[in-house]
């Protein structure tokens, strides 16, 4: 029963990405661990025992490998982690900060950016479903709307038109008519485009330092000395003096329309 509850709970989260849209309601506190346990229990009680245990295990492993990627690509994580990776490469510090630190920082910044969206999902879908005042299908529809609103706010018009044309879907008259399977790739491509634009702008000052150091060393005839040995400490010093991490974090959050 516990495995069935886990499988159906993950299926419910996956189905939320393809559900239609619904209306808005006021925000509420974020769900706690007890709320998650109650959700799994409710779904497990409602789910029929139609699959054999090996099939359930296979479905669970498949969903566990797919759901994280889907959730990452429908949130702010993609843009943030790419920009942070650009910064680490521009500093030429190799593995400093470590990859785990970069990914962890990107994860918590993503949670910070997505906090209003998650609060809406909790208020409009999760809490009413746990209280028994809303059926599962309605909860899935309500929970999808805040995530779609976030993706619509970041997806470019050109990318949406491109994927609408390639999908052969009829021209939508309202955002609610845009299918979720069209919205998600348009959002991801837009995030990649924005992340590379931000990375290019942030890379330029470090490139200027590299060019200046290389020119000075060449003029002094120090051809055998790698320029990176001189430019790396200078770039780190410049980054520290301008409070680089604060500026980058602030720029990333404001790029999502945060205040």
Cα–Cα distance, 173 to 88 (Å, whole number)? 43
Q: pLDDT, tens digit, for every residue of 167-205? A: 887 777 887 888 888 888 899 999 999 999 988 888 888
Q: What tens digit of pLDDT does each residue of 105-135 get? A: 999 999 998 888 888 888 888 888 788 777 8
Q: What is the pLDDT of residues 127-162, one digit of tens each?
A: 887 887 778 778 878 888 888 888 888 888 888 888
Element (H, E) at 152: helix 136-154
Q: Which of 116, 84, 52 is nearest to 199 (CA)?
A: 84
Angstrom distance (rounded) from CA 208 to CA 205: 5
Instruction: Report the share of the chain in percent with pLDDT over 70.
Output: 78
Helix pair 53-73, 2-15: axis angle to 10 deg? 30
Helix, strand, or coil (residue 40)? helix
Cα-to-chain-centroid distance, residue 154: 11
Instruction: Give the sign of the dihedral formed by CA 59, CA 60, CA 61, CA 62.
Output: positive
Q: Where are the domains of the chain?
A: 2-255
Residues 143/28, Cβ–Cβ less than 8 Å:
no
Single out the residue of 78, 92, 77 nearest to residue 239, CA to CA: 92
């Amino acid at each position: 029963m516990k495995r069935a509850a886990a499988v159906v709970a993950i299926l419910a989260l996956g189905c939320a990405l393809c559900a239609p849209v619904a209306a808005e309601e006021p925000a509420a506190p974020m769900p706690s661990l007890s709320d998650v346990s109650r959700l799994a229990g409710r779904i497990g009680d409602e789910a029929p025992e139609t699959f054999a245990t090996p099939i359930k295990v296979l479905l669970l492993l498949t969903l566990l490998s797919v759901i994280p990627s889907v959730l990452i690509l429908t949130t702010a994580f993609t843009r943030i982690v790419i920009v942070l990776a650009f910064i680490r490469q521009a500093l030429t510090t190799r593995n400093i900060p470590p990859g785990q630190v970069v990914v962890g920082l990107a994860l918590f910044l993503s949670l910070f950016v997505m906090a209003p969206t998650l609060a809406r999902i909790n208020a409009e879908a999760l809490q009413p479903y746990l209280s028994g005042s809303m059926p599962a299908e309605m909860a899935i529809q309500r929970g999808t709307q805040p995530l779609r609103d976030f993706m619509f706010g970041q997806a470019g018009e050109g990318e949406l038109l491109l994927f609408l044309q390639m999908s052969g879907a009829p021209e939508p008259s309202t955002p609610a008519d845009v299918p979720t399977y069209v919205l998600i790739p348009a959002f991801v491509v837009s995030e990649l485009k924005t992340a590379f634009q931000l990375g290019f702008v942030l890379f330029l000052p470090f490139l200027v330092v590299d060019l200046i150091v290389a020119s000075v060393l060449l003029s002094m005839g120090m051809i055998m000395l790698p320029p990176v040995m001189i430019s790396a400490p200078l770039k780190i010093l410049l980054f520290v003096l301008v409070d680089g991490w604060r500026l980058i974090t602030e720029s990333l959050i404001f790029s999502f329309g945060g205040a």
